[in-house]
């Protein structure tokens, strides 16, 4: 396949993995890149610059293909700018193919030098945004692509709640840089749709959890297969950071606290934070207890039917997309040829037809007549 997304990163298929705290680690990242898509290494997993550098090098031991690093700059993460800058420095020094940036735009970090530093190092930059105005800002400040993140996505969709269907189209008609669709976009149908909507490919994360290469307890995979698209909830509006997560006991408790009348945002935040903190990660992912903490998956869980190795999953998506695009092509029938004006012409009357026949015969006989004339002229000589 060839789109502006595959050209940008030098990958085989216009498919990439989104950042996943705890889960987007070297093994999964490399498996995705090896399968011809763009793997993702999530920086927030690595407390120091050297830890991130070692993780990048670990990916390189497993694959020589391009991959990207995710850096999410949300105020709620309470990470210092200096820490972010250390990660960016490492990514530039290691010459990683791409970066998926979420939250604060890169031109607002430090004294705005990072876009140039990363570009000079050959790193292509994508900003994950939920609004066209943020996409425009990314384009104007020099990003190479935007990821149109619809409200269907797991993680932290923007609270404007626009769907990936509308965002992809609106961004494609507004921006010149490539648009990548995310939020419920984990099938061949979604890839075909993105291409038809003006997008250049898809990104997903939730679907990758149900692959053997993703290091989670099997309970997690089976539970995501069992759950449907209407079993995630949006939470966090009362604490200033919207999220989407699997509906479980923790989420019921969070929504109850948020709905209580009165109380300041800060007070609610103090009660909600311990429930959704990343400290529950090991209990959820490694022990397979899905009733603790926030499990930030998207509506696309309704589209997961079985555990599949990454390579098979990517191949299935590609083949399905080709099938759907061909089907769409067949549905668009050639425009019917316009019938000639019905007005009866004199030529079409019986007399007219007779005249036409004679005229035709005349022209047809012309060469013979000319031959006969030449012959008689010769005889006379």
Ligand X SMILES: Cc1cc2nc3c(=O)[nH]c(=O)nc-3n(C[C@H](O)[C@H](O)[C@H](O)COP(=O)(O)O)c2cc1C
Q: What is the dihedral of CA 66, 72, 73, 75, to 10 degrees?
A: 180
Provide the minimum distance between the beta carbon of 175 and ligand X in the complex, in angstroms, as a whole number.
Answer: 19
Provide the minimum distance between the beta carbon of 89 and ligand X in the complex, in angstroms, as a whole number.
Answer: 20
**Which is nearest to 203 in space by CA: 304, 131, 100, 107?**
100
Distance between CA 159 and CA 294 in Å, rounded?
Answer: 18
Provide the minimum distance between the beta carbon of 227 and ligand X in the complex, in angstroms, as a whole number.
Answer: 13
Comparison of 20 and 254: residue with beta carbon closer to ligand X: 20
Query: What are the φ/ψ torsions at residue 124 (nearest 5 degrees)?
Result: -90, 140
Distance between CA 283 and CA 374 in Å, rounded?
Answer: 106
Comparison of 72 and 168: residue with beta carbon closer to ligand X: 72
Neighbours of 2 (CB within 10 A): 9
Comparison of 144 and 152: residue with beta carbon closer to ligand X: 152
Provide the minimum distance between the beta carbon of 164 and ligand X in the complex, in angstroms, as a whole number.
Answer: 8
CA 190 to centroid of chain Cα atoms: 9
Do the beta carbons of residue 136 and residue 175 sit within 8 Å? yes
Q: Which residue is it, tokens 């692509």?
A: 145
DSSP β-bridge partners for residue 234: 244
Provide the minimum distance between the beta carbon of 76 and ligand X in the complex, in angstroms, as a whole number.
Answer: 12
Provide the minimum distance between the beta carbon of 267 and ligand X in the complex, in angstroms, as a whole number.
Answer: 26
Comparison of 267 and 287: residue with beta carbon closer to ligand X: 287
Comparison of 44 and 238: residue with beta carbon closer to ligand X: 44
**Which is nearest to 299 in space by CA: 203, 206, 169?**
206
Distance between CA 128 and CA 112 in Å, rounded?
Answer: 18
Provide the minimum distance between the beta carbon of 71 and ligand X in the complex, in angstroms, as a whole number.
Answer: 8
Token pair belonging to 104 = 């604060």
Radius of gyration for the alpha carbons in the chain, expressed in angstroms and rounded: 31
Provide the minimum distance between the beta carbon of 156 and ligand X in the complex, in angstroms, as a whole number.
Answer: 7
Comparison of 27 and 263: residue with beta carbon closer to ligand X: 27
Provide the minimum distance between the beta carbon of 313 and ligand X in the complex, in angstroms, as a whole number.
Answer: 12
Token pair belonging to 313 = 């999953």
Residues near ligand X (CB under 6 A):
18-21, 23, 42, 44, 70, 72, 102, 128, 149, 152-155, 182-184, 186, 204-207, 296-298, 300
Comparison of 2 and 106: residue with beta carbon closer to ligand X: 106
Distance between CA 315 and CA 205 in Å, rounded?
Answer: 17
Ranges assigned E (strand) in 236-306: 243-246
Comparison of 152 and 223: residue with beta carbon closer to ligand X: 152
Comparison of 40 and 324: residue with beta carbon closer to ligand X: 40
Provide the minimum distance between the beta carbon of 260 and ligand X in the complex, in angstroms, as a whole number.
Answer: 27
Comparison of 19 and 198: residue with beta carbon closer to ligand X: 19
Q: Which residue is it, tokens 């935040």?
A: 269
Token pair belonging to 10 = 């030098």
3-state secondary structure of 67: strand
CA atoms within 13 A on the CB side of 200: 25
Do the beta carbons of residue 123 and residue 95 sit within 8 Å? yes
């Amino acid at each position: 396949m060839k789109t502006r997304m595959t050209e940008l990163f030098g990958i085989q298929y216009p498919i990439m993995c989104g950042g996943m705290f705890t889960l987007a680690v070297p093994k999964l990242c490399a498996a995705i890149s090896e399968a011809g898509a763009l793997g993702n290494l999530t920086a927030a997993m690595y407390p120091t610059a050297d830890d991130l550098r070692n993780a990048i090098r670990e990916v390189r031991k497993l694959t020589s293909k391009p991959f990207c690093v995710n850096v999410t700059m949300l105020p709620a993460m309470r990470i210092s700018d200096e820490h972010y800058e250390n990660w960016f420095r490492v990514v530039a020094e290691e010459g990683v193919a791409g970066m998926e940036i979420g939250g604060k735009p890169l031109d607002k970090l430090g004294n705005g030098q990072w876009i140039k530093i990363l570009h000079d190092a050959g790193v292509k930059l994508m900003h994950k945004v939920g609004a066209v105005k943020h996409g425009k800002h990314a384009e104007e400040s020099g990003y190479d692509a935007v990821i149109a993140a619809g409200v269907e996505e797991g993680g932290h969709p923007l609270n404007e709640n626009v769907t990936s269907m509308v965002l992809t189209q609106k961004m494609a008609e507004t921006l010149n840089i490539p648009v990548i669709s995310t939020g419920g976009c984990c099938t061949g149908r979604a890839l075909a749709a993105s291409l038809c909507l003006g997008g250049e490919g898809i990104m997903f994360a939730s679907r990758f959890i149900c692959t053997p290469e993703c290091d989670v307890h099997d309970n997690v995979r089976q539970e995501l297969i069992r759950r449907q698209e209407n079993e995630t909830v949006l939470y966090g509006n009362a604490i200033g950071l919207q999220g989407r997560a699997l509906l479980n006991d923790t989420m019921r408790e969070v929504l109850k606290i948020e709905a209580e009348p009165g109380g300041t945002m800060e007070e609610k935040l103090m009660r909600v934070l311990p429930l959704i903190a990343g400290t529950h990660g090991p209990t959820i992912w490694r022990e397979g207890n899905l009733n603790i903490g926030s499990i930030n998956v998207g509506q696309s869980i309704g589209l997961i039917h079985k555990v599949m190795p990454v390579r098979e999953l990517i191949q299935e998506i590609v083949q399905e997309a080709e099938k759907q695009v061909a089907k769409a092509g067949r549905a668009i029938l050639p425009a019917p040829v316009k019938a000639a004006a019905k007005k009866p012409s004199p030529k079409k009357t019986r007399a007219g037809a007779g005249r036409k026949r004679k005229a035709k015969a005349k022209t047809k006989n012309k060469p013979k007549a000319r031959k006969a004339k030449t012959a008689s002229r010769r005889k006379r000589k």
